[in-house]
Amino acid sequence: MTQLSADTTPMSTGPWMAGLATTLARPRWIAFACMAVLTASGWAYLLLVAMQQAPAGASGFLDAMCRALPAEATGGGVAIIATMWVAMTLAMMLPTAGPMILTYGEIAETAQRQGQRIVSPSLLIAGYLTIWIGFSAFATLAQAAAMSLAASPGVASIAMPASAALFLAAGLYQFSALKRACLRACQQPFSFFFLNWTDLPGGVFRLGLRQGLYCLGCCIAMMLLMFAAGAMNVVWMALLGLVMLIEKMTVSAIFGRAIGTAFIAVGLTIVAVWGSGLVS
């Protein structure tokens, strides 16, 4: 397994290369680089798919950003749907894990300067992403099932109440004890790493798994809203990703409660519109 050691010395290939090697050996830079590359890859893939489906012109591209990709656009292939969900996970969830990953990098740098053995943050990120890739597998199966049922008689009539149920559930979940506990764990990564620090590769991977589970418990209801807003809707991805990032970085509970209230309001509005018969 990849490990970093305080004994590492840059190759004597000149001051510039030595400085670069020293910089790249720092855990915080490794954490930042891994996060940036994976996040950029996720967004690049999703934007490329949207561009391929967009009509010509800037307005066509903006329209594609605001709509879910139809089943025909993905070819109906489960493998392609899975790839898109994994890309969405990278694009949305890795930025929200940024404070946690960089906190690990900062603690690791301090330990490294003290001569202690440390483990590359890439293993922490791998553990974290393992949880969300598992969620992507679940979401892929759910979307494939929804696509197969879409042509069934009567299924279209439950689309609005199903969307309302997702928004209401997401709103109520914001006020639950499980949500608060998971959010607290996401907001206090220093305490988590201080209490559970390890210099074993398997141990750091397991720390990533635990942080991934906390993040899943914190954000799963919002991620499921992608089924209400339209899976692969790039604008919704960006908005929900921003909401989750702000929530994790905000100490006060006011923001989370405001988001929960807003979700409940949206759900009730959908119910009212559907019940009025204005939209079938």
User: For residue range 125-183, what is the model confidence (pLDDT) as tens digits?
Assistant: 999 999 999 999 999 888 888 777 766 666 666 778 888 999 999 999 999 999 999 99
Q: Is 239 exposed, middle or buried (0-12, 13-18, 19+ CB in 10 A)?
A: middle
> Considering its fold, how many domains does the chain have in total?
1
Give the closest residue to 101 by CA, choosing from 165, 175, 39: 39
The predicted model scores a pTM of 0.81
Phi, psi of 10 (to 5 degrees): -65, 150
Residue 47: both structure tokens together? 């934007």
124 Cβ contact list (under 8 Å, min separation 6): 31, 101, 104, 204, 205, 207, 208, 211
Residue 157 and residue 90: Cα distance in Å, rounded? Answer: 33
Identify the domain containing residue 14 by its residue range: 3-276
Chain-centroid distance, C-alpha 148: 26
Residue 223 and residue 239: Cα distance in Å, rounded? Answer: 11
Q: What is the mean pLDDT of residues 259-274?
A: 93
pLDDT, tens only, 188-234:
999 999 999 999 999 999 999 999 999 999 999 999 998 887 666 77
